[in-house]
Structure 1
Amino acid sequence: MSLPLVTLQISLAPSDFRHARYLLPHQISTWRGQVDEILLTIDLHRSAGRFAIDWEVGRDRILELAHSIADARIVTVDYEESAEQKVAETFLGGKTPVPRKDFRGGPYYAYLFGLSEARHDHVLHLDSDLLFGGHSPHWMKEALADQAADERVLISAPLPGPPAPDGALHSQVTSPVPNRPNTHDFDFMSTRLFMLSKTRFRDTIRALEPRRPPVWRDSIKAMVEGNPAEDLPEHLFTSAMRKHGLVRREFLGTGKGMWHLHPPYRCRDFYDKLPDLIARCKSGDIPYDQRGDHDINDSLVDWTEARTALAHNRWWRRLAKRL
């Protein structure tokens, strides 16, 4: 029996260029041999807040970078009515308008557009800031086989963080899958990295249900920043998964497997070390304190600058300056 065809879909925006110039080639080289289409979707719809940083500078650069990837299909996120209707019919039961951004100014429509635009039913979505290690050439085949064998699995993804010696995930609460080392089930969604079948989504969840953020301060934040008061897409997926008894399964796989790391912040030390971080992920040169942690921690990057900047740039501080 032949395996399903898979689209690798990577979301890009102008503000991503500073890290994407290193990470996009890394991501493509990691997955090219395991997918049947490479789709790069570029969101040129600017939002407010931290997601708009370096937008003007990055626009031309991110387009040039995307077009440098051989055999990739480059699509600008289409906000026209016909495209929006297709997205709505695929994921929202036909209800329009589809929210453009979430309350933080982060992508909403762009996530769903990327999935809708993929030519194949199975889509591996990546955010542009992820690093990968292990690099097993068999991970995708194993994920497809696992989804076929277990109808509860809506989402598959590589192991979060390099494997710890004890096989545990130290940065997250999970449900380890019995008799399967380095395999964990979650009852919640993360939109930064996932592989799903659009058919399984349609057959199980059918449609997401947009809603306001459940916490009132997030609605206030949206108003202050000029963003829509819309909850995150991953929260909508999570509610639907719990309602229908579905899981997100993240696993290492055979051999060296496949795992990923996510940078929780941005700072000078991160950008300076990024080429070396990619090399260390490829070689497996990972410190003990990073193993079992899905976010890049201080054993690899000094995040002091980023934490300090974040503490002084909270949305309520920006509001106070305007009053």
Structure 2
Amino acid sequence: MRSANMTAAEVSLQVNLHPLDAPHVAYTLPHQIRALGPQVGQVLLTVDLHRSQGSRYRIEDYDQKLKSLQDTLDRIAAAEPKVKIVEVDYTPPAMRRVARDFLGQDFIPKKAHNGSPFYAYLFGVHAASGDYVIHLDSDMLFGGGSHTWVGEALEKMAQDPSIIACNPLAGPPASDGSLHSQSARRLAAPYPAYSFPSVSTRIFLMDKRPILSGQWRIPLLQPGLSARVQAFINYTPSCLALEDSLSAMMVANGLSRLDFLGRAPGLWTLHPVYRTPAFYRELPRLIERIEAGDVPDQQRGHHDLNDSMFDWSEIRAQLTWRRKFKRRLQYAASGLQERMRDLTR
């Protein structure tokens, strides 16, 4: 039973981290903690050290990036008393515990068919001390600066049990509150608020108790043939991504996700889609601009960071369909060669 009297102590901010994230977390983690830390009782940083066999997901300089990540986390933990750092536990007892609590069975995949995290996400939510968990990917950026948004979200979830998750508004608000890069049902509210039938693993504030109690169960979804081939090449189980499973659970149980700005000044998010050396150099300045509300009109209503705030033309030129197709063929050929070597040993 949800209560309207939830406090910050019962909410955890949980951020998933991997050595691959090392170049940006020195800037994004302090920013995320500034945005949400005062509104929660715990900041849980879950570090995923799993190394994927698939050639597409290998990191050549893994040890160097791991050292950089560890140095950043040590600095943050020393400065932030709410911070707890936990390594994702891949031992069979830990995986069975998470599988039983969230899926109602003994098996849980480490990765989805495309190599994206599956178990690591749910391990983080499971390990968080709060009944309510704000889950983030480590690259999410926050504007608006509201220090009441989490409390408002808890009130809305207490009032409507069909809301499984709440998110800040995706993208800085447009002048009329409309969404320019997403489609959703707008709700009557004194600020932009929208209802979605799905959830993304980039960010969500979720009450995990109905799942832990068995009221809802997260299903494992089987992908189509091409995705099963991709899973074979990537050395991953043949199942769809966690956000697909969570969204299917929502549909099956008549649940929804609420995105809303909240009372002034509100809270909103931006997500950088690409990673380039130029982006890493500009990231500290981008965070300063976002926190100060220095946002051009062309960015408003868009949930991904676009060219009005940072010029992505260089990386887009490298991602033509021919280059992407060639790269996928290279990944597939490399993966199949590794598979054949394994089968003939």
Q: Which stretch shows the higher mean deviation, 301-310 or 41-50?
A: 301-310
Q: Which stretch shows the higher mean deviation, 304-313 or 65-74?
A: 304-313
Task: Give 1:205 shift.
Answer: 5.2
Task: Give 1:87 shift.
Answer: 0.5
Query: 1:37: which partner in 2?
Result: 42
Q: Which stretch shows the higher mean deviation, 196-205 or 250-259?
A: 196-205
Say if 1:15 and 1:51, in contact at 8 Å, map to a contact too: no
**Distance in 1 between residues matched to 2:317 and 2:42, nearest whole Å:** 41
**2:257 alignment partner, SS class:** strand
Q: Which stretch shows the higher mean deviation, 264-273 or 308-317?
A: 308-317
**2:94 alignment partner, SS class:** helix
Q: Which stretch shows the higher mean deviation, 267-276 or 145-154?
A: 267-276
Q: Return the letter of the residue paired with 1:13.
A: H
> Residue 77 in 1 paired to residue 80 in 2?
no
Task: Give 1:30 shift.
Answer: 1.2
Task: Give 1:309 shift.
Answer: 3.6
Give the unaligned 5+ runs of structure 1: none
Query: 1:57: which partner in 2?
Result: 64
**1:68 alignment partner, SS class:** helix
**1:164 alignment partner, SS class:** coil
Say if 2:46 and 2:85, in contact at 8 Å, map to a contact too: yes
Q: How does 1:92-241 map to 2 (within 5 A)?
A: 92-93=103-104, 95-202=105-212, 206-213=216-223, 215-241=224-250
Q: Return the letter of the residue paired with 1:87.
A: V
> Residue 3 in 1 paired to residue 6 in 2?
yes
**Distance in 2 between residues matched to 1:180 and 1:27, nearest whole Å:** 26
Say if 2:216 and 2:249, in contact at 8 Å, map to a contact too: no
**Distance in 1 between residues matched to 2:293 and 2:233, nearest whole Å:** 44
| TM-score under structure 1 length normalisation | 0.94
Query: 1:23: which partner in 2?
Result: 28
Runs of 4+ in 1 over 6 A off after TM superposition: none
**Distance in 1 between residues matched to 2:226 and 2:305, nearest whole Å:** 28
**1:245-276, CA deviations, whole angstroms, 9 ceiling, x for partnerless residues?**
10011110001100000011112232121011
Task: Give 1:202 shift.
Answer: 4.3
Give the share of equivalent positions with the same residue, in percent: 40
**2:209 alignment partner, SS class:** helix
Task: Give 1:222 shift.
Answer: 2.0
**Distance in 1 between residues matched to 2:163 and 2:135, nearest whole Å:** 16
**1:197-224, CA deviations, whole angstroms, 9 ceiling, x for partnerless residues?**
11133468521111222x3222222222
**Distance in 2 between residues matched to 1:309 and 1:223, nearest whole Å:** 27
**Distance in 1 between residues matched to 2:291 and 2:174, nearest whole Å:** 17
- RMSD over aligned CA atoms reads 1.8
Task: Give 1:301 shift.
Answer: 1.7
> Residue 293 in 1 paired to residue 296 in 2?
no
Say if 1:46 and 1:55, in contact at 8 Å, map to a contact too: no
Say if 1:139 and 1:258, in contact at 8 Å, map to a contact too: yes
The structure with the larger Rg is: 2
Say if 2:101 and 2:214, in contact at 8 Å, map to a contact too: no
**1:168-194, CA deviations, whole angstroms, 9 ceiling, x for partnerless residues?**
111001111124431011001101100
**Distance in 2 between residues matched to 1:237 and 1:281, nearest whole Å:** 30
**2:16 alignment partner, SS class:** strand
**Distance in 2 between residues matched to 1:136 and 1:155, nearest whole Å:** 18
Q: Return the letter of the residue paired with 1:129.
A: D
Q: Return the letter of the residue paired with 1:104.
A: N
> How many residues in Structure 1 have an aligned counterpart in Structure 2?
321
Query: 2:100: which partner in 1?
Result: 89
Say if 2:193 and 2:261, in contact at 8 Å, map to a contact too: yes
**Distance in 2 between residues matched to 1:205 and 1:129, nearest whole Å:** 32
Task: Give 1:63 shift.
Answer: 1.9
| TM-score under structure 2 length normalisation | 0.88
Q: Return the letter of the residue paired with 1:306.
A: I
**Distance in 2 between residues matched to 1:263 and 1:150, nearest whole Å:** 32
Say if 1:269 and 1:301, in contact at 8 Å, map to a contact too: no
Within the candidate set 267, 272, 285, 2:281 is matched to 272
Give the unaligned 5+ runs of structure 2: 338-345
Q: Which stretch shows the higher mean deviation, 146-155 or 227-236?
A: 227-236
Q: Which stretch shows the higher mean deviation, 120-129 or 303-312?
A: 303-312
Task: Give 1:62 shift.
Answer: 1.2
> Residue 319 in 1 paired to residue 338 in 2?
no
**Distance in 1 between residues matched to 2:237 and 2:316, nearest whole Å:** 26
Q: Which stretch shows the higher mean deviation, 48-57 or 105-114?
A: 48-57
**Distance in 2 between residues matched to 1:229 and 1:278, nearest whole Å:** 38
**Distance in 1 between residues matched to 2:63 and 2:55, nearest whole Å:** 14
